[in-house]
Amino acid sequence: MSDKRFILNSSRSSKQGTLINVGKDSEEYKQLTETMTMEAGDMEAIGLADGQRALVKTEFGESEFTCQSGKVPQGMIFIPYGPPTCLLMGGDTGGTGMPTSKGWEVEVVPL
């Protein structure tokens, strides 16, 4: 991983709830779950622009996302939970049946 690391928090967004009738195979749902939000200064620091693709890496895997700046604390990124974030998770569920989806240390590589 590079020297600049971020904390990834992934959870369901309110927009995902409104798309339940459209379906998870819809282009709109796919676009939503492939978009990550970062603080504008963090994006600038690593050379990312709005709309640019980036590779997010964890110790378990990696996935590509489209970047957008937004109201996210510095040092953190947010991605709505979905198939791309599942590629970043390990298998440990801590007995809950759901892998940990918050607080991962990640590397973000501009593409």
* One pLDDT digit (tens) per residue for the chain, 111 residues: 446 799 998 876 766 666 666 667 778 878 888 999 999 999 999 999 999 999 999 988 999 999 999 999 999 999 998 889 888 887 665 666 555 666 788 999 999
Q: Rg of the Cα trace of the chain?
A: 14
What predicted TM-score, i.e. pTM, was given to this entire model?
A: 0.81
**Percent helix / strand / coil, the chain, rounded to 5:** 20, 35, 45
| 66 inside domain | yes
> Is 1 within the bounds of a domain?
no
Give 68's strand partners.
37
Do residues 85 and 79 lie in contact, with contact meaning Cβ atoms separated by under 8 Å?
A: yes
CATH number, domain of 85, equals 2.40.40.20
For 65, the domain range is: 6-110
